Amino acid sequence: MNGYRRDLRKYARQTNVRLFIGFLILLITVGEGLIFVFYGTAGALSGFVCLMAGLFPLLLIWIALLGIDWIVQKANDE
């Protein structure tokens, strides 16, 4: 195949990142939009703060998994 080889792990990682970003955009725009429509600015601000507080543990887990992946890659390179 003329030296062309797919990296399926990279493709899967990109797809997962894109899906997660799409989910966040949808959650924030639609979710916050509906909260704003029904409860106004104060409710939307409160909802945004709650969303960010709920996403914080996911961010910590993601950072931990990136660290583990980095350690494993370094160990495999040696």
pLDDT tens readout for residues 28-68:
999 999 999 999 999 999 999 999 999 999 999 989 999 99
pLDDT at 26: 94
Give pTM, 2 decimals. Answer: 0.67
User: What confidence tier does 7 reach under pLDDT thresholds 50, 70, 90?
Assistant: confident
Structure-block tokens of residue 76: 């495999």
* Res 5 pLDDT > 80: no
DSSP notation for 10-55:
HHHHHHHHHHHHHHHHHIIIIIHHHHHHHHHHHHHHHHHHHHHHHH
